[in-house]
């Protein structure tokens, strides 16, 4: 199917397999030791080892095996001379050599080194598995996540194939829900009703899925978008009607993560799996797998599941080994669609809500309305549960019950708004088209967060569709023609979060990956099978043959049912790619840290934090036994560190020739993490104190980066740059371009673009060598982020910025750096990645947004990909789509995991095509529209000007609302009317205009502005929305009503408040969730009990100015507040910093600037903005 790796990149087959082709192919291969080179043939060998691991779980064991298979080949070979001799001559030029080989004057690690080393080595002895397990628990926070979070723990993913076989043992039972459910059924449900088992049937593909007591929902770490009470209640309903025994499950959208949670999940594993001791170094995945097995008894009430489940290990093993040769096998398809009714399947977790929604309406015909039940029964549950995250958008239209809704509760705006989009298929007028008079409606914010609208597809397709968290389109109803799109005045585009941490992901190992022969689309749930042996591509409509191998379904162990294969049952799947998808052997994980050690940097004191975080997380860095690490520091010279194994202490090599930088000892600067661990620890302990007395104020960032590039180019990997000032020496030096007097100018903002192309060129060079540059900018002065950011933008890196960073003067920033680093160092990472976005014929991609290099029309080259990166693309309709009713989008992300596996993650989204303007508006996804507009506005402000971008944003609202009002002819032209789907549009646009990136009139530092723009381009939608429009809650009177239970904690669910000072009362306390920071604002007359219980101070006056943590006080209100905050925290990867703000605190401006509905000196209030829009429409 695909061309072999060696072929030139041109053939379509290997296009995606060609990460390096642009830069003189495969230097890497030449330099690699013979052992390395011969690796691919043996590629399947490790899988043999690994598939056994779940049985013998100890990870140290694993480690050994790993070593056994890698070491002899890789390290014994004379491989290390990767860099070439030119350097040598340079180095040894007599007059300079002395200077170069100055060893570090500081004795490294004499006193504290050993101690530290002892400690950490002791912890290391605990086996890396445990370490990474805990990392995993923290970051993915759930054990079910196994198959996705493969990098978080040491098992090779081949063991994922196990469950496949186990499932294959019991035909017709799709086991995965069992696994998930059983674990969480015990762990998370607080049973208020005894539940036995559920038994239900998915509709079309009707694989019977057994499920478990209580809810099936998976437990998810970062469920921004989780099941609502409704959807789960529906599944309950469904279950009741279907299951012989009957059960009531309740689920809520719950998000939790972190200590309590993870310990919970660990416990649950303990309970279910007696032989799996979390501490003993089993990986999470094996824990899950084994829980599949052991949970069988608990399911024994269900005839089909029990007997064979326990037998699974051996066959599984067999299968895993076989799989490399001919058979294909799929790994745990933890397919809980049936539980979740489509939509946000991966990000839900099972939690119970305190008031039990008691669905009662009997279910009649399942086929026609699988989840339907009467609205009245829903209502109490809904109100009680008041889900904080979307009322699951997934299940709208098809519930007849909802149709009565507008009539029954016409006045309840909040309710109706949160149910907005729920009745797309309403016969008369969909809820999302309900006209909303913006100037009169005071409360347009929903009670909880805004749900993603659900495409108006039939229920089968909807169930299969991709989660809106990974893949969202601005228009869920695609207009038929470009003309119609132009008429609607809304942008068409996709928002992608492809490498998100998922907990449920089918991983497929198969010798042939089935793809369309002409457009190379991966087979997906939306293709049509013409007959058993042929399928029709849904993107280019070519008819393809089904390969023989694909006829066999490893899940059901049946032959001749290609449509039941996991690839065709899941819109998000991951393939383990064969060597066809490689141009060179998968690279090891390589990390290089480039640290600024000039006077400015030492003064700020960031080195201590960085070194400390690195020391703590050294064992959790994703990677395998080949992982390599290196350090470069720079001031006016560049210092390298020789960490070669065998040295007694790290050796510093100083290169002062910054105009012609070279590597002093190319082969010992990047060293194996495991072999040289002691030296690395010594270095990290010594580094913070090595430069304390430096007087060097210059910064030679450019030469340091050039050196880093040279060091990395043979392998590729990740460069992390820490910079604290404007680079002032050597190549890439920059000059201050900011005029402080222009900070609050309303006219022009200049210098938003880069000053030099040095960093861009460097980034492209790096990208060509599969190296990403991540930038941490910690500066107190202007550092020209606009220029520096280029190094990350085009090499697919990420950018962190800490304005006025100082370790002791600015503890909030220091804490933030610490938390960010923890996440940064331990999160999953994909190397040498490419992403291709394909879409149905007729659509084409117009513009890409995000951090990457666009290598060809639809191929993005991502040297590294991380789970926090979001992308956006703008689409245009080139040919009319009249002859099709569905369009599909597919993103395929091909990457090398930190374990050295080539994997392809494929997401497919399917959307209906509509021909009327009203339908286009009905399907508008306001959040996606706003995020795409933000991306476009950033481009516009760089290429044109900020005021142009602002005008364009305002025009976007004016034009689209005007266009809508002309379609709805019966509306009075004097009012400002928006369809319900777009009612938040003006509010969000106003928020954007007041955002740091686009605001004028207020003093905004250029770097802050540029950073905000960078974030808009690279953040996924969920994060970006919080940045644009923060959530405000009142927290001084948290009540029981609507609380939800996460594990054993009660999490109150206060309603969202308008971002307006009118909502702030002096008697209250408010929490604002801005994504990366939480503000708690305390009114002057705030209840003393609240201050005492929650803040731990006797009265308002004694609350300190800088408070960043809530004490643990044994009081109900304290407990509630803390559980609410930690629940919010758990919903995002970066742990936000908390800041308590008193009314007279100078920091209160930070808080008040987010109250975007209020008027400021330079900007409209929301109402004024509406009037302004209305005026412009009437013009």
Partner 1 sequence: MESVVFIFSLIDCCALIFLSVYFIITLSDLECDYINARSCCSKLNKWVVPEVIGHAVVTVLMLISLHWFIFLLNLPVATWNIYRYIMVPSGNMGVFDPTEIHNRGQLKSHMKEAMIKLGFHLLCFFMYLYRLVSKIV
Q: What is the DSSP string of 1088-1157?
A: HHHIIIII--SSGGGS-SSB------SSHHHHHHHHHHHHHHHTSSSPPEEEEEETT-TTHHHHHTT-TT
Assess contact for 718 and 829: CB atoms under 8 A: yes
Least spacing, CB of residue 101 vs partner 1, in Å = 37
CA distance 712 to 731: 19
902 - beta bridge partners?
Answer: 896
Range list of H helices, 386-448: 400-403, 405-408, 413-418
Long-range Cβ contact pairs of 736-743 (< 8 A, separation 24 or more): 736/782, 736/784, 737/782, 737/784, 737/1006, 738/782, 738/784, 738/1005, 738/1006, 738/1007, 743/1003, 743/1004, 743/1005, 743/1006
Q: What is the DSSP string of 692-729?
A: TT-------HHHHHHHHHHHHTTT-EEEEEEE-S---S
Least spacing, CB of residue 855 vs partner 1, in Å = 5
Nearer to partner 1, 549 or 738 (CB): 738
Nearer to partner 1, 683 or 834 (CB): 834
Nearer to partner 1, 693 or 857 (CB): 857
Least spacing, CB of residue 1045 vs partner 1, in Å = 48
Nearer to partner 1, 859 or 1171 (CB): 859
Other C-beta atoms closer than 10 Å to the C-beta of 815 total 16
Assess contact for 1105 and 1035: CB atoms under 8 A: no
Q: What is the DSSP string of 118-171?
A: HHHHHHHHT-HHHHHHHHHHHHT--SGGGGTGGGGSS--GGGGHHHHHHHHHST
Nearest alpha-carbon partner for 929 in 518, 452, 484: 452
Assess contact for 287 and 269: CB atoms under 8 A: yes
Q: Hey, is 411 helix, strand or coil?
A: coil
Nearer to partner 1, 27 or 383 (CB): 27
Least spacing, CB of residue 938 vs partner 1, in Å = 12
Other C-beta atoms closer than 10 Å to the C-beta of 360 total 11
Nearer to partner 1, 755 or 918 (CB): 755
CA distance 225 to 234: 17
Nearer to partner 1, 242 or 761 (CB): 761
Least spacing, CB of residue 905 vs partner 1, in Å = 22
Least spacing, CB of residue 893 vs partner 1, in Å = 18
Nearer to partner 1, 9 or 923 (CB): 9
Nearest alpha-carbon partner for 851 in 922, 906, 775, 916: 775
Burial of 369 by CB count in 10 Å (0-12 exposed, 13-18 middle, 19+ buried)?
A: middle
Least spacing, CB of residue 419 vs partner 1, in Å = 38
Nearer to partner 1, 416 or 861 (CB): 861
Least spacing, CB of residue 947 vs partner 1, in Å = 18
Least spacing, CB of residue 727 vs partner 1, in Å = 15
Least spacing, CB of residue 1012 vs partner 1, in Å = 19
CA distance 202 to 218: 17
Nearest alpha-carbon partner for 861 in 716, 754, 755: 716
Nearer to partner 1, 259 or 753 (CB): 753
Least spacing, CB of residue 1015 vs partner 1, in Å = 19
Assess contact for 35 and 72: CB atoms under 8 A: yes
Which residues of the chain form contacts with partner 1 (CB under 8 A)?
10, 15, 21-22, 753-757, 760-761, 764, 768, 786-787, 790, 793-794, 846-848, 853-857, 859, 939, 943
Least spacing, CB of residue 245 vs partner 1, in Å = 58
Least spacing, CB of residue 738 vs partner 1, in Å = 15
**590-596 vs 651-655, strand pairing mode:** unpaired
CA distance 515 to 2: 9
Assess contact for 751 and 698: CB atoms under 8 A: no
CA 332, distance to chain mean position in Å, is: 21
Least spacing, CB of residue 346 vs partner 1, in Å = 31
CA distance 1169 to 1150: 22
Q: Please tell me the number of Cα atoms within 13 Å of 1137 on its side-chain side.
A: 17
Nearer to partner 1, 845 or 957 (CB): 845
Least spacing, CB of residue 754 vs partner 1, in Å = 3
Residue with tokens 């117009």, as numbered in its chain: 846
Assess contact for 1113 and 1093: CB atoms under 8 A: yes
Nearest alpha-carbon partner for 728 in 612, 601, 642: 601
Range list of H helices, 1019-1085: 1021-1028
Q: Please tell me the number of Cα atoms within 13 Å of 301 on its side-chain side.
A: 15
Least spacing, CB of residue 24 vs partner 1, in Å = 10
Nearer to partner 1, 382 or 848 (CB): 848
Burial of 683 by CB count in 10 Å (0-12 exposed, 13-18 middle, 19+ buried)?
A: buried
Nearer to partner 1, 332 or 768 (CB): 768
Least spacing, CB of residue 788 vs partner 1, in Å = 11
Least spacing, CB of residue 856 vs partner 1, in Å = 4
Please name the helix (run of DSSP H) or strand (run of DSSP E) that holds residue 293, with its range, or none. helix 284-294
Nearer to partner 1, 28 or 630 (CB): 28
Nearer to partner 1, 790 or 920 (CB): 790
Nearer to partner 1, 786 or 976 (CB): 786
Nearer to partner 1, 381 or 754 (CB): 754
Q: How far is CA 386 from CA 269, 400, 536, 1032, in A?
A: 30, 22, 43, 16
Q: What is the DSSP string of 1120-1132?
A: HHHHHHHHHHHTS
Spell out the residues 6+ positions from residue 203 whose beta carbon is closer than 8 angstroms to its own.
366, 367, 370, 459, 460, 463
Nearer to partner 1, 318 or 844 (CB): 844
């Amino acid at each position: 199917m695909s061309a072999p790796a060696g072929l030139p990149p041109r053939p379509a087959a290997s296009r995606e397999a060609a990460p390096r082709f642009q830069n003189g192919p495969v230097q890497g291969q030449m330099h690699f030791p013979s052992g390395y080179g011969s690796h691919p043939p043996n590629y399947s060998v490790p899988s043999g080892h690994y598939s056994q691991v779940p049985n013998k779980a100890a990870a140290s064991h694993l480690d050994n095996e790993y070593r056994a298979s890698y070491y002899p080949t890789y390290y014994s070979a004379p491989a290390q001379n990767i860099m070439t001799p030119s350097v040598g001559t340079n180095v040894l030029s007599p007059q300079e050599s002395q200077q170069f080989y100055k060893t570090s004057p500081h004795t490294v690690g004499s006193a504290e080194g050993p101690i530290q080393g002892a400690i950490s080595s002791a912890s290391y002895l605990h086996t890396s598995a445990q370490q990474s397990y805990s990392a995993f628990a923290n970051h993915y926070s759930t054990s079910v996540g196994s198959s996705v979070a493969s990098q978080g723990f040491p098992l090779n993913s081949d063991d994922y194939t196990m469950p496949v076989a186990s499932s294959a043992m019991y035909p017709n039972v799709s086991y995965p829900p069992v696994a998930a459910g059983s674990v969480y059924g015990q762990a998370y449900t607080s049973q208020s009703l005894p539940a036995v088992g559920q038994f239900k049937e998915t509709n079309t593909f009707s694989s019977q899925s057994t499920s478990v007591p209580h809810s099936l929902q998976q437990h998810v770490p970062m469920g921004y978008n989780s099941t609502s009470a409704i959807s789960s209640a529906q599944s309950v309903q469904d279950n009741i009607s279907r299951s012989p025994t009957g059960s009531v499950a309740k689920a809520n959208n719950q998000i939790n993560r972190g200590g309590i949670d993870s310990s919970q999940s660990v416990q649950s594993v303990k309970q279910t799996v007696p032989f799996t001791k979390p501490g003993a170094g089993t990986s999470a995945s094996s824990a899950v797998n084994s829980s599949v097995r052991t949970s069988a008894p608990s399911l024994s009430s269900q005839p089909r599941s029990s007997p064979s489940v326990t037998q699974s290990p051996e066959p599984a093993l067999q299968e895993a080994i076989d799989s490399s040769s001919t058979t294909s096998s799929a790994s745990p398809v933890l397919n809980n669609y049936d539980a979740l009714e489509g939509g946000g399947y991966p990000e839900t977790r099972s939690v119970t809500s305190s008031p039990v929604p008691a669905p009662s309406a009997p279910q009649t015909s399942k086929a026609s309305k699988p989840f339907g039940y009467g609205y009245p029964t829903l209502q109490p549950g809904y109100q009680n549960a008041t889900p904080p995250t979307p009322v699951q958008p997934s299940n709208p239209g098809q519930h007849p019950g909802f149709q009565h809704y507008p009539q029954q509760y016409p006045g309840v705006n909040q309710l109706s708004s949160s149910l907005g989009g729920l009745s797309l298929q309403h016969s008369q007028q969909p809820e999302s088209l309900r006209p909303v008079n913006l100037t009169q409606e005071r409360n347009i914010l929903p009670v909880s967060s805004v749900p993603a609208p659900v495409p108006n597809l039939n229920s089968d397709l909807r169930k299969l569709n991709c989660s809106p968290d990974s893949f969202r389109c601005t228009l869920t109803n695609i207009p038929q023609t470009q003309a119609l799109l132009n008429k609607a005045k809304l942008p068409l585009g996709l928002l992608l979060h492809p490498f998100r941490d998922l907990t449920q992901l089918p991983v497929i190992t198969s010798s042939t990956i089935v793809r369309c022969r002409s457009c190379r689309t991966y087979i997906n749930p939306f293709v049509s099978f013409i007959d058993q042996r042929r399928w029709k591509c849904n993107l280019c409509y070519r008819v393809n043959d089904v390969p023989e191998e694909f006829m066999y379904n490893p899940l059901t162990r049946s032959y001749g049912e290609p449509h039941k294969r996991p690839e065709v049952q899941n819109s998000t799947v991951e393939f383990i790619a064969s060597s066809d998808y490689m141009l060179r052997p998968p690279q090891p994980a390589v990390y290089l840290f480039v640290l600024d050690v000039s006077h400015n940097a030492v003064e700020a004191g960031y080195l201590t934090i960085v070194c400390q975080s690195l020391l703590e997380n050294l064992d959790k860095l994703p990677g395998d036994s080949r992982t390599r690490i290196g350090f470069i520091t720079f001031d006016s010279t560049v210092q390298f560190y020789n960490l070669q194994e065998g040295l007694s202490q790290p050796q510093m090599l100083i290169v002062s020739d910054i105009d012609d930088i070279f590597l002093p000892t190319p082969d010992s600067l990047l060293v194996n993490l495991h072999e040289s661990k002691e030296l690395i620890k010594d270095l990290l302990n010594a580094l913070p104190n090595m430069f304390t007395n430096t007087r060097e104020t210059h910064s030679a960032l450019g030469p340091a980066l050039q050196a880093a590039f040279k060091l990395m180019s043979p392998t590729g990997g990740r460069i992390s740059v820490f910079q604290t000032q404007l680079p002032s020496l050597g190549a890439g030096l920059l000059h201050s371009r900011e005029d402080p007097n222009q900070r609050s100018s309303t006219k022009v903002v200049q210098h938003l673009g880069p000053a030099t192309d040095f960093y861009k060129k460097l980034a492209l060079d790096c990208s060509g060598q599969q190296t990403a540059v991540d930038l941490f900018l910690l500066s107190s002065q202007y550092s020209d982020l606009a220029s520096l950011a280029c190094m990350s933008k085009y090499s697919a890196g990420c950018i962190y910025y800490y304005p006025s960073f100082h370790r002791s003067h600015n503890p909030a920033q220091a804490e933030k750096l610490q938390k960010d680093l923890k996440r940064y160092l331990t999160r999953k990472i994909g190397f040498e990645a490419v992403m291709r976005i394909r879409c149905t014929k007729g659509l084409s991609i117009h513009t890409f947004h995000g951090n990457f290099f666009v290598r060809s029309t639809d191929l993005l080259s991502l040297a590294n990909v991380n789970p926090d990166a979001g992308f956006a693309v703008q689409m245009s309709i080139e040919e009319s789509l009249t002859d099709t009713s569905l369009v599909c989008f597919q993103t395929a992300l091909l990457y090398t995991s930190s374990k050295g596996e080539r994997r392809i993650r494929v997401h497919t989204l399917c959307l209906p095509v509509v021909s009327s303007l009203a339908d286009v508006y009905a399907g508008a996804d306001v959040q996606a529209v706003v995020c795409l507009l933000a991306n476009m506005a950033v481009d516009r402000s760089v290429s044109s000007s900020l005021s142009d971008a602002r005008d364009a944003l305002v025009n976007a609202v004016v034009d689209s609302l005007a266009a809508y009002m002309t379609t709805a002819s019966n509306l009075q032209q004097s009012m400002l009317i928006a369809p319900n789907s777009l009612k938040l549009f003006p509010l969000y646009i106003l928020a954007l205009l007041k955002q740091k990136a686009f605001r004028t009139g207020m003093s905004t530092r250029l770097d802050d502005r540029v950073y905000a723009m960078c974030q808009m381009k690279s953040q996924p939608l969920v994060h970006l929305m919080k940045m644009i429009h923060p959530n405000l809650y009142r927290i001084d009177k948290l009540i029981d009503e609507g609380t939800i239970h996460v594990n054993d904690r009660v999490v109150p669910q206060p309603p969202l408040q308008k971002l307006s000072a009118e909502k702030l009362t002096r008697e209250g306390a408010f929490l604002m969730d801005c994504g990366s920071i939480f503000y708690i604002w305390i009114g002057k007359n705030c209840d003393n009990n609240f201050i005492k219980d929650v803040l731990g101070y006797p009265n308002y006056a004694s609350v300190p100015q800088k408070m960043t943590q809530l004490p643990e006080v044994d009081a109900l209100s304290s407990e509630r507040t803390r559980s609410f905050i930690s629940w919010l925290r758990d919903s995002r990867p970066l742990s936000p910093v908390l800041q308590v703000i008193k009314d007279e605190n100078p920091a209160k401006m930070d808080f008040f600037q987010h109250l975007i509905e209020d008027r400021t000196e330079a900007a409209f209030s929301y109402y004024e903005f509406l009037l302004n829009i209305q005026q412009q429409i009437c013009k």
